């Protein structure tokens, strides 16, 4: 038996808002309900921009900006499909054409859109009395405002219902006319004014399925193109060394699935003439070495490390974490820089895949390369640590790094142990040394530089 009077608790009332002259009451009503769904899930009271809902429904059709009146049956699915954007990211009171241009110029807003609803139920069956009872039942069972269409001259109006009063035969609503509707936007409509209602169904809480992150590593240049040169190095060689070491460390220390783009190819040249599907990767990380300072004798200062991402990328937390870890070793932090003129970056962007280009350090700066040579493994470890921190990935428990499990009885066992004690070698990171495997140029130089420091 339903009570004669009922109101949602005050904290579940949508905020008092004023649609002004925008005529977007449907979007106001929908985003008001989304606000309460978000609040119930997170405890955070955030307004969602009704302009977003209006824009995404009044969208581009064959080059024409359609500005039709919003229809609830179409507006709710549109907002479920693209999500909702917070008012702090998209102003609430922009005029429709301005809002359309704003959204088109800021594709990152769609990436940030919060998906809160997975469907809706239209309450429009039977007599008006049956619809009134159905709305009251849905309201009290779900504790979420019900979007309703009510009679309003000259046509109709959309409002979120938050309660009722059988004695007065009225629904309590939060109108979109600001305080004109009364304190906190509270207003009412007669049961006889009801046309139909809509119960927006929140996304159900689902058990989180652990998903393994997948990264594609790309080594820049190669296949006859040495890239930048300086201080006795070639960029293509060093990029392949770093990618090889990084793949090994990621596989040893994390559950990240790692693949490497064919190192016999020049990725720029290949992708210029061939299609490649990047959509299976969560991140494409391309490794390069910077140049153009021509400081081959050293001035006591590093020129540093930077990461390039697409201009539309809004979340650069992982890239910033990688930079922070690398630069803690002594490299200057040149920051995350946004570009939109790089071929491989734009290919990934077009496929909706996150891309970052790591300029490890400056190949023609003596100070950079001396530090890199000494701390090659530390640089690789810093990249791994930064990726784990940025993406919230737990590293595997490290095995004892001080003992190599695969050198017992090897002819070089004593020499290897002595070098390890002096800090000249540190193994592969998994407790092994792999004494009969070839080493990279960077590893060889790192051992020489560590020996010099001793």
- Report the distance separating Cα 18 and Cα 381, nearest Å: 53
pLDDT of residue 358: 98
Among 261-275, 410-424, 436-450, the minimum mean pLDDT is found in 436-450
Comparing 153 with 368, the larger pLDDT belongs to 368
DSSP structure string for 249-317: HHHHH---EEEE--TTS-HHHHHHHS----TT-SEEEEEEEE----BSS--S----EEEEEETT----H
Largest Cα span, the chain? 96
DSSP structure string for 139-201: HHHH-SPEEEEEEETTEEEEEEEEEEETTTTEEEEE-SBGGGGSGGGEEEEEGGGEEEEEEEE
pLDDT of residue 182: 80
Among 46-60, 125-139, 275-289, the minimum mean pLDDT is found in 46-60
5-202, CATH topology level? Cathepsin B; Chain A (3.90.70)
Among 78-82, 137-141, 280-284, the minimum mean pLDDT is found in 78-82
pLDDT of residue 428: 66
pLDDT of residue 450: 61
Task: Name the phi and psi angles at 393, rounded to 5.
Answer: -105, 130
pLDDT at 190 over 60: yes
pLDDT at 385 over 90: yes
Residue ranges of the chain assigned to CATH 3.40.630.40:
214-391
Tokens of 106: 């800021």
pLDDT of residue 68: 53
Q: What percent of the chain has pLDDT over 90?
A: 61
Tokens of 253: 């220390």
Element (H, E) at 56: helix 50-57
pLDDT of residue 220: 97
Q: Are 96 and 103 in contact (CB under 8 A)?
A: no
- Dihedral-angle region of residue 375 (phi above 0 means left; psi in -120 to 50 means alpha; beta otherwise): alpha
pLDDT of residue 3: 92
Q: Are 353 and 281 in contact (CB under 8 A)?
A: yes
- pLDDT tier at 449, thresholds 50, 70, 90: low
- pLDDT tier at 416, thresholds 50, 70, 90: confident
pLDDT at 452 over 60: no
pLDDT of residue 145: 97
- pLDDT tier at 423, thresholds 50, 70, 90: low
* Helix/strand/coil percent split, the chain, to 5: 40, 25, 40
pLDDT in tens, 201-254: 998 765 554 568 999 999 999 999 999 999 999 999 999 999 999 998 899 889
Q: Which residue has the tokens 């190819």?
A: 265
pLDDT of residue 101: 77
- Report the distance separating Cα 142 and Cα 36, nearest Å: 11
Comparing 278 with 452, the larger pLDDT belongs to 278
* Nearest alpha carbon to residue 213 among 113, 282, 259: 282
**What average pLDDT does the segment 131-138 reach?**
95
pLDDT at 120 over 70: yes
**What average pLDDT does the segment 332-349 reach?**
95
pLDDT at 424 over 80: no
pLDDT of residue 211: 62
**What average pLDDT does the segment 5-21 reach?**
92
Residue ranges of the chain assigned to CATH 3.90.70.10:
5-202
Q: Are 27 and 44 in contact (CB under 8 A)?
A: no
pLDDT of residue 51: 83
**What average pLDDT does the segment 383-412 reach?**
77
- Report the distance separating Cα 139 and Cα 6, nearest Å: 9
Angle at 147 between CA 143 and CA 153, to 5 degrees: 145
- Report the distance separating Cα 249 and Cα 243, nearest Å: 10
pLDDT at 13 over 80: yes
Question: Which CATH number fits the domain 214-391, given the four candidates 3.40.630.40, 3.40.309.10, 3.40.30.10, 3.30.700.30?
Answer: 3.40.630.40
Comparing 315 with 440, the larger pLDDT belongs to 315
Classified as helix, coil or strand, 213 is: coil
Cα 305 to Cα 100, 327, 363, 368, 429: the distances in Å are 38, 7, 11, 9, 24
pLDDT at 365 over 50: yes
pLDDT in tens, 58-69: 555 555 555 555
pLDDT at 401 over 50: no
**What average pLDDT does the segment 373-386 reach?**
94
């Amino acid at each position: 038996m339903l009570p004669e009077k009922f109101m949602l608790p005050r904290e579940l009332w949508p905020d008092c808002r004023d649609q002004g002259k925008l005529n977007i009451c449907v979007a106001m009503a929908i985003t008001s309900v989304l606000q309460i769904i978000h609040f119930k899930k997170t405890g955070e009271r955030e307004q969602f921009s009704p302009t977003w809902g209006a824009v995404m429904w009044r969208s581009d059709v064959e080059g024409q900006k359609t500005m039709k009146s919003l229809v609830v049956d179409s507006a709710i699915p549109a907002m479920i499909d693209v999500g909702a954007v917070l008012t702090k990211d998209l102003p609430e009171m922009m005029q429709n054409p301005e809002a359309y241009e704003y959204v088109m110029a800021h594709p990152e807003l769609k990436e940030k859109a919060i998906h809160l609803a997975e469907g809706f139920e239209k309450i429009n069956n039977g007599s008006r009395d049956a619809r009134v009872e159905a709305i009251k039942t849905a309201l009290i069972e779900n504790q979420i405002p019900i979007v309703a269409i009510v009679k309003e001259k000259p046509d109709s109006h959309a409002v979120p219902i938050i309660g009722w009063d059988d004695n007065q035969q009225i629904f309590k609503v939060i109108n979109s006319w600001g305080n004109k509707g009364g304190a906190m936007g509270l207003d009412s409509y007669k049961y006889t004014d009801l046309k139909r209602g809509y119960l927006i169904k929140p996304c159900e809480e689902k058990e989180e399925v652990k998903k393994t992150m997948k990264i594609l590593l790309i080594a820049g240049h190669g296949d006859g193109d040495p890239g930048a040169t300086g201080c006795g190095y070639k960029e293509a060689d060093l990029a392949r060394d770093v990618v090889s070491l990084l793949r090994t460390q990621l596989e040893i220390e994390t559950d990240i699935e790692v693949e490497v783009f064919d190192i016999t190819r020049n990725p720029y040249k290949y992708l210029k003439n061939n299609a490649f599907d990047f959509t299976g990767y969560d991140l494409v990380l391309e490794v390069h070495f910077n140049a153009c300072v021509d400081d081959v004798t050293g001035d006591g200062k590093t020129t540093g490390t930077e990461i390039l991402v697409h201009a539309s990328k809004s979340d650069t937390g992982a890239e910033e974490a990688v930079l922070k870890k690398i630069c803690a070793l002594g490299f200057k932090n040149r920051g995350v820089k946004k570009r939109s003129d790089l071929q491989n970056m734009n290919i990934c962007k077009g496929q909706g895949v996150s891309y970052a280009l790591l300029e490890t350090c400056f190949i023609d700066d003596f100070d950079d390369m001396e530090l890199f040579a000494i701390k090659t493994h530390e640089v690789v470890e810093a990249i791994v640590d930064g990726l784990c921190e940025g993406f919230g990935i737990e590293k595997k428990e490290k095995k004892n790094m001080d003992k190599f499990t695969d050198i017992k009885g090897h002819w070089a066992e004593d020499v290897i142990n002595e070098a390890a004690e002096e800090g000249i070698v540190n193994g592969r990171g998994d407790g092994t040394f792999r004494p009969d495997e070839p080493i990279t140029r960077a590893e060889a130089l790192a051992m020489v530089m560590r020996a010099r420091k001793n």
